[in-house]
Structure 1
């Protein structure tokens, strides 16, 4: 297998993809204070429209689900209109884009949302939370009632309809990285004694109900799901990963959404191969390039090739697309890659470290 495999055409449901490289969703805190996407965000995503598929950054389906300052949302007409400017611009540049839907659960703060965060159980995040005035200690979340769980399911379905109205090709349901759906999956954050806690069958119930509601709202061919087996970010500590995810994936497979997105996938692991065997539609895999470490000189191309060889249909890359708007062309011709500049620039707002990375035709000032 050669790098050329990254540039063969692909398909995702009814979408024809010009290559097998997916831009992973990355929170970048460039929305307005009320969650409305900005013109700067439209520029950012349009610069990267050559990706086979863009998965736009996590947007919250309701107010209490807000995680950090200036993240986008998708529950008001203003949000829909803001995202429509993004999707129109990306499509005019020849791109395809879906929207990730994320509820932060306990990963949030009253200074961000104006509300006490909610979670499967009243167990605080063991970390600080970024707020408009800096990092603050996490507060103990309020345990969701069964009625509130059902309301949240409805909010996800409404958000999916809003995303389609905003021009997205579909949505990705975020059941990973320690946010609300993942909090229900993990036994260290879900200590409920009702039908949403305890056994694996109960802990996967919320994710399945969200997926069912979103599929009913917009159709399975427009829906993807993201999972992160064994990933311990945001205080997650799964004790039964090898049993949990085959059960979840098998149940999701019965619904046949358009794709499954596996984060930090290990192509050599038994679990990854189990997931590949169980999954009937498109499998997107994201290589583990390390938290907080410099990217490899190839931007993860070799790791991406390894995942394709192991059975993935498409491969997602994050920071490589952040630093290289024209990543596809650079990898295609073997050009040097821009490196990711000071990490704090990812989250502070403005053009720097966001829309000012040079294209090949502009400059090689930040070449690796």
Structure 2
């Protein structure tokens, strides 16, 4: 087993990015972008947390069709790109690095959020047993997702192109240091990967190779446009989030990471266990060390990022066992100075769950740092 001598606070080169430390802020949906446009308040929020070695933005829709929740940002219109420019400028002004997570929710949406009130799209016309967030009069509510329609094969090249265009917008115009492809948590690319949501009988369904096809085409298009060194990917092999399920995930993800090795990605971001929940799922065993070994054996050189329910001790142990980066999610909501708290072994603020989704500055940019506590 690897036994790294690196600490959380040592610098690291990740693809084309030089990071000041190995602590990453994971993507956190906060529903504070009306009309999908990033706001000055969002610029303040990310700049407050820029002491992380890398910030990964909240999931950001690549198209109107890709929207699945109220007041989440997009990256497909001029006003949206201009809003993100202010975010990246604010983060870079304080020495931070930031990538945007590119998102298509697929079936995890509601007709009220779709173009012309249409059905959400999916690999197969199977409704997700999950909920999305709508906001009325400033108050968030959780509602059942709508019945989706199955994407036609001829529609898939346009989705690939839309991912590529969003990546170009992100790096060349909005000023991001890179992108993270969201292929986790039961959203569109993950829906294609997993047989519970993909029952197609064409070249994008059935075998592992076919179910991975769309994701690999997206990766090829994005890396061709902005380079592998500016591209990361997020995977969640066994999470039940958003009704994601595959009865045999090990060979699926072993195959996928071997294929990803050829793209010289900046990093692979793995959610261990149930997203935002238990790290160990007895009914869904998975060999995370094995999947990392499969990636390395295939020549994959990207940084290996682990995520889910980590505290300092678990994060340090992950580095000792071969991870290169560790991502913290919810702790960053209430602790903009989480890196300093980790460094000094100080207690963490507790987040106000009532302000996680939607709202303004309260529960967003008003958490105290150590110097102001």
Relative to the length of structure 2, the TM-score reads 0.90
Q: CA deviation at 1:14?
A: 2.4
Q: CA deviation at 1:38?
A: 0.4
1:163 aligns with 2:170: yes
Q: How does 1:152-301 map to 2 (within 5 A)?
A: 152-164=159-171, 165-264=173-272, 270-279=287-296, 280-289=300-309, 300-301=311-312
Q: CA deviation at 1:115?
A: 3.1
Give a deviation string over 1:5-44, Cα, whole Å, max 9, x none: 1111111112211111000011110112x21100110000
| Secondary structure in 1 matching 2:198 | coil
1:117 aligns with 2:127: no
Partner of 2:336: 325
Give a deviation string over 1:266-315, Cα, whole Å, max 9, x none: 799633333244242233433432xxxxxxxxx71111112111111111
Partner of 2:69: 68
| Secondary structure in 2 matching 1:201 | helix
Partner of 1:126: 129
1:348 aligns with 2:358: yes
Q: CA deviation at 1:152?
A: 0.5
Q: CA deviation at 1:169?
A: 0.5
Partner of 1:97: 98
Give a deviation string over 1:61-120, Cα, whole Å, max 9, x none: 010110100000000111110000000000001100000001000001111234320000
Instruction: Note if contact 2:30-2:357 (Cα within 8 Å) is conserved in structure 1.
Output: yes
Measured in 2, the distance between the counterparts of 1:43 and 1:284 equals 29
Q: CA deviation at 1:128?
A: 2.9
| Residues 17 and 354 of structure 1, relative CA distance in 2, 3 Å threshold | same
Moved more, 328-337 or 275-284: 275-284
Instruction: Note if contact 1:10-1:19 (Cα within 8 Å) is conserved in structure 2.
Output: yes
Measured in 2, the distance between the counterparts of 1:269 and 1:208 equals 22
| Secondary structure in 2 matching 1:174 | strand
Measured in 1, the distance between the counterparts of 2:203 and 2:143 equals 33
Higher RCO (CA-CA < 8 Å; seq separation 6+): 2
Instruction: Note if contact 2:199-2:206 (Cα within 8 Å) is conserved in structure 1.
Output: yes
Measured in 2, the distance between the counterparts of 1:339 and 1:136 equals 27
Q: CA RMSD in A?
A: 1.9
Instruction: Note if contact 2:66-2:103 (Cα within 8 Å) is conserved in structure 1.
Output: yes
User: Which structure 1 residue ranges, 5 or more long, are not aligned?
Assistant: 290-298, 364-368
Match of 2:147 among 140, 144, 155: 140
Measured in 1, the distance between the counterparts of 2:10 and 2:302 equals 15
| Secondary structure in 1 matching 2:341 | helix
Q: CA deviation at 1:209?
A: 0.5
| Secondary structure in 1 matching 2:36 | coil
Partner of 1:357: 367
Q: CA deviation at 1:130?
A: 1.8
1:6 aligns with 2:8: yes
Measured in 1, the distance between the counterparts of 2:16 and 2:45 equals 25
Instruction: Note if contact 1:221-1:258 (Cα within 8 Å) is conserved in structure 2.
Output: yes
Give a deviation string over 1:157-194, Cα, whole Å, max 9, x none: 00000101100000000000000000000101000000
| Secondary structure in 2 matching 1:315 | strand
Measured in 1, the distance between the counterparts of 2:62 and 2:131 equals 23
| Secondary structure in 1 matching 2:181 | strand
1:30 aligns with 2:32: yes
Partner of 2:276: none
Instruction: Note if contact 2:254-2:294 (Cα within 8 Å) is conserved in structure 1.
Output: no
1:78 aligns with 2:59: no
Instruction: Note if contact 2:253-2:291 (Cα within 8 Å) is conserved in structure 1.
Output: no
| Secondary structure in 2 matching 1:187 | coil
Relative to the length of structure 1, the TM-score reads 0.92
